[in-house]
Amino acid sequence: MATSSSRNFTLDVAEVIEEAYERCGLEVRTGYDAETARRSLNIMFADWANRGVNLWTVQLGTQALTSGTSTYTLSNEITDILEVVVRRDNTDFQVQRISRGEYQNQPNKATTGKPSSFYFNRQITPEINLWPTPENSTDVLRYYFVQRIQDADALVNDVDAPFRFLPCMAAGLAYYLSVKRAPQRIQVLKSIYEEEFQRAADEDEDRVALKLTPSIDYLRVR
């Protein structure tokens, strides 16, 4: 039996929009139909950022440190920081994340040394604050960050999501469009979307070895 031998199926923005309208029982007839759907798609991507870490958006960033400087401005494409280390002489030292309150309560922010903690200030233009303040200009901060999903702009562009998220994307946009164009289908399309999203999110997780920790109760003499 002949098969295609291809594994490169994807959807561009126009195809996602067309699929979503069809699930609403509608057609794309005007430029405004496409524009309002494209806007909804970008709003949905923003919602995905609020639902958790999308692994395909995780990137590695670096920041050269400067002696006496504790605050560094980051790209506004960064929505969160996951892990941080300070690299010194080819050795990485873990930097622990702390809250704004914990950072604020540090008694002497002018203390210098090898940074051991950081506070991520999630503003429109985010900042990372280190403590202690870097003591030299040779250390390098290395961090994994979550990057914004690329905008759905030109209709001919591919969407910025892996193959396994295509069903979720089509279902989600159909639900968003139903709110505006097909209110009689809102409930069923929302249910399909949430099911598809959960399935994709469950698959979009790090695979780690199973570690079993025995309960201390088994070791307790009764």
Q: What is the pLDDT of residues 64-79, one digit of tens each?
A: 999 999 999 999 999 9
Parent domain of 44: 13-54+149-203
pLDDT of amino acid 207: 59
Closest C-alpha to 149, from 168, 132, 131, 174: 168
Whether 182 is covered by a domain: the verdict is: yes
Whether 215 is covered by a domain: the verdict is: no
Report the number of distinct structural domains present in the chain: 2
Flag residues of the chain having pLDDT under 50: 214-216, 218-222
Question: Is the same domain home to 75 and 159?
Answer: no
pLDDT of amino acid 209: 56
Question: Is the same domain home to 136 and 77?
Answer: yes
pTM: 0.84
Question: Is the same domain home to 139 and 156?
Answer: no
pLDDT of amino acid 219: 45
